[in-house]
């Protein structure tokens, strides 16, 4: 099992979207997945409740955690019976994020691909490093671009990649592409597989992209000794 936290104190950086997309993809591949919604805005809990209201089954376990005193124990308990425990956090640096990070094998830091956001993401990296320092254990982390342009690689994106490489900030090669499908999974409280081509364009491209990001996360987990057996 692997516990993965999604952090970035910058709101709207793509944490919840990436968490839900990866949860769906890992579960589609047969992984046992649990998601902890540790954001008081409870976007993933709403996804869960809307599905229940529409009579749709739940493809993986979802549980809310709003008390910071509970998060560590909950992550540990869920890790015993799941291959992946994804922890979606609020867009603020708070004690909940700190506690979640200390129980995580990997921290993913989604960021919008802009120079401003790249600078703000370095604040998120500092938070991970501070936490690592406190617990005297490296907490592996990776930046993940959360809204790449679907078309040709933009010049901004090239500059951001170069800056991250220069500062030696570990970043996934694959990023989540800006796709309507990633908004519509919330709109229709659906999985990517359940979206209808009549409602959403380029679903197939979104699925392929999600698979590519998931592949890379699995390979990072392998590298840090948390590969699936
Ligand atoms: N790859 C993507 N394609 C299209 N829309 C996206 C993508 N990633 C994120 N979004 C949209 O951007 C907005 C912010 O994304 P999201 O809610 O995932 O960010 P967040 O970091 O969880 O925000 P918060 O800090 O408020 O919790 C949402 O409207 C979401 O639908
Ligand atoms: Mg969120």
Nearest-atom number in ligand 1 for the CA of 41 is: 27
Contact status, residue 25 vs residue 212, Cβ threshold 8 Å: no
Q: Which domains does the chain have, with CATH numbers?
A: 2-223 (3.40.50.300)
pLDDT of residue 150: 87
- Rounded CA gap, 92 and 96, in Å? 9
| Best of 96, 100, 183 for a ligand 1 pocket test (most atoms within 8 Å of beta carbon) | 183
Question: C-alpha angle 206/2/7, rounded to 5°?
Answer: 65
Nearest-atom number in ligand 1 for the CA of 39 is: 27
Q: Is the CB of 99 under 6 A from ligand 1?
A: no
Q: Is the CB of 37 under 6 A from ligand 1?
A: no
Instruction: Please tell me the distance between residue 13's alpha carbon and the centre of ligand 1 in angstroms.
Output: 6
Ligand nearest to the CA of 202: 1
Q: Is the C-alpha dihedral spanning 85, 177, 46, 48 positive or negative?
A: negative
Instruction: Please tell me the distance between residue 15's alpha carbon and the centre of ligand 2 in angstroms.
Output: 5
Residue 197 buriedness (CB in 10 A; 0-12 / 13-18 / 19+): exposed
pLDDT of residue 130: 96
DSSP letter for 195, please: -
Q: Whose CA is nearest to atom 2 of ligand 1?
A: 178
pLDDT of residue 165: 78
pLDDT along the chain (229 residues), means of 10: 95 97 98 98 98 96 97 96 97 94 96 86 92 96 93 76 80 95 98 98 98 98 82
pLDDT of residue 228: 65
Q: Whose CA is nearest to atom 9 of ligand 1?
A: 14
């Amino acid at each position: 099992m692997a516990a993965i936290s999604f952090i970035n104190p910058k709101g709207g950086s793509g944490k919840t979207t990436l968490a839900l997309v990866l949860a769906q993809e890992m579960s589609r591949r047969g992984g046992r997945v649990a998601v902890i919604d540790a954001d008081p805005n409870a976007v993933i809990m709403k996804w869960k409740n809307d599905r229940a209201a529409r009579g749709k089954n739940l493809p993986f376990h979802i549980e809310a955690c709003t008390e910071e005193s509970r998060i560590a124990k909950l992550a540990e308990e869920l890790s015993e019976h799941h291959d992946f425990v994804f922890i979606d956090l609020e867009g603020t640096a708070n004690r909940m994020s700190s506690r979640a990070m200390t129980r995580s094998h990997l921290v993913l830091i989604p960021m919008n691909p802009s120079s401003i956001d790249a600078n703000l993401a370095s604040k998120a990296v500092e938070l991970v490093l501070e936490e690592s320092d406190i617990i005297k254990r490296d907490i592996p982390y990776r930046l993940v671009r959360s809204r790449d342009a679907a078309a040709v690689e933009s010049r901004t994106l090239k500059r951001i990649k170069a800056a991250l490489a220069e500062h030696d900030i570990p970043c996934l090669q694959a990023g989540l592409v800006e796709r309507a499908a990633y908004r519509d999974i919330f709109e229709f409280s659906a999985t990517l597989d359940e979206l209808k081509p009549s409602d959403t364009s380029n679903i197939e491209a979104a699925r392929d992209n999600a698979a590519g990001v998931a592949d890379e996360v699995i390979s990072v987990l392998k590298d840090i000794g948390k590969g699936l057996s």
